[in-house]
A and B are shown apart, each in its own frame.
Chain A
Amino acid sequence: MSERRAAVVAGHGAFAEGLVSAVAAVIGPAHGLMGVTNVDATSEGILARLRDAVTASGASVIFTDLPAGSCTMAARRLARTHPGLAVVTGASLPVVLAFAAGTPLEAAVASGRAALVLAEGGA
């Protein structure tokens, strides 16, 4: 069985809550993920939430939604003072799920990237 590692998922609105619940639905509740929202928080407030979550969970990675989003900015600020803390932006269920299931981070990112496809041609 693959080792499961801690990570923080952060984003707008209920993005993190939804993503964490989706991971739990697939691999069960022992997923090692902690969700953080940016709702009602200043940049400093988001940074504090992320710092608390990383400390509480022992996370080695923060997954965020938008590359330009406030959670990404805060995560990158936190990474400055936390050597070894990785930040992955543009997070989706495939990448977070792969990481939570024990896939090495770079491979998880690659699998998330590969999962983004135009499955049907559309108009």
Chain B
Amino acid sequence: MTLELFRIDDRLIHGQVVVGWGHPCDLSFFVLVDDAIAGAAWEQELYRMGTPEGMEVRFETVDGAVAHLAAYRADPRCGMLLTADVETMARLVEQIPEIRTVTLGGLHHAPGRVQRLRFVFLSPDDEARLRALAARGVTVAAQDVPGSTPVPLDEVLAADGSA
């Protein structure tokens, strides 16, 4: 096992991630990539306190994640990397070609975003970045919890939010 799950979720570490994915996938560590949180001790403490015992959380800037990804992938435990937005994940993919699959786990309502799925709202910039990821050969799909069916990017972008 290794760091294999790369998820975009504006709530970062929360119930779906810790319980929904954590239990069935036997996740032992999270890599939370966010330039602001990586420099905010109280925010880090907040996420650590919400994480069950036995689950480790590492906080990285984009540059730090790039530098340390090989070590995370060499970890024998199962891990998940999280970003809160498409832009951060796109910056990672540009520098880490080993990322071949990205999951849209949750991007919720915000100004400038259009609803595509129940749990996916995207801005035009988000959509352009996701198309660029796909053009690089990255498999992008939306899936909030393990028990739901992944929705491929082309279906996400064609959806009108009614599904």
Contacts and interface: CB of A to CB of B under 8 A. Distances in A.
B14 A42 contact: no
Nearest to B113: A42
A43 B110 contact: no
Interface string B51-86: 110000000000000000000000000000000100
A43 B12 contact: yes
A45 B52 contact: no
Interface residues of B, number: 22
Contacts of A80: 42
Interface string A68-96: 11101100110010000000000000000
Nearest to B22: A68
A93 B59 CA distance: 35
Given A68-B50, A68-B52, A72-B50, A12 B15 contact: yes
Mostly helix, strand, loop or mixed at chain B's interface? loop
Contact of A42 (B47, B51, B109): B109
A40 B113 CA distance: 12
Nearest to B50: A68
A44 B108 CA distance: 10
Contacts of A43: 10-12, 84
How many chain A residues sit at the interface, stated as a range, is 10 to 19
Contacts of A42: 10-11, 108-110
B89 interface: no
Contact of A67 (B50, B109, B118, B119): B50
B135 interface: no
Nearest to A43: B11
A70 B18 CA distance: 11
A41 interface: yes
A59 interface: no
27 contacts: A40-B108, A40-B109, A40-B119, A42-B108, A43-B10, A43-B84, A44-B110, A45-B110, A66-B15, A66-B18, A66-B19, A67-B49, A67-B50, A68-B14, A68-B15, A68-B17, A68-B18, A68-B50, A68-B51, A68-B52, A69-B15, A70-B15, A73-B11, A73-B46, A73-B50, A76-B49, A77-B46
Interface of A: 12, 40-45, 65-70, 72-73, 76-77, 80
* List of 4 A-B pairs having minimum Cβ-Cβ separation, nearest first: A68-B50, A70-B14, A69-B15, A68-B18
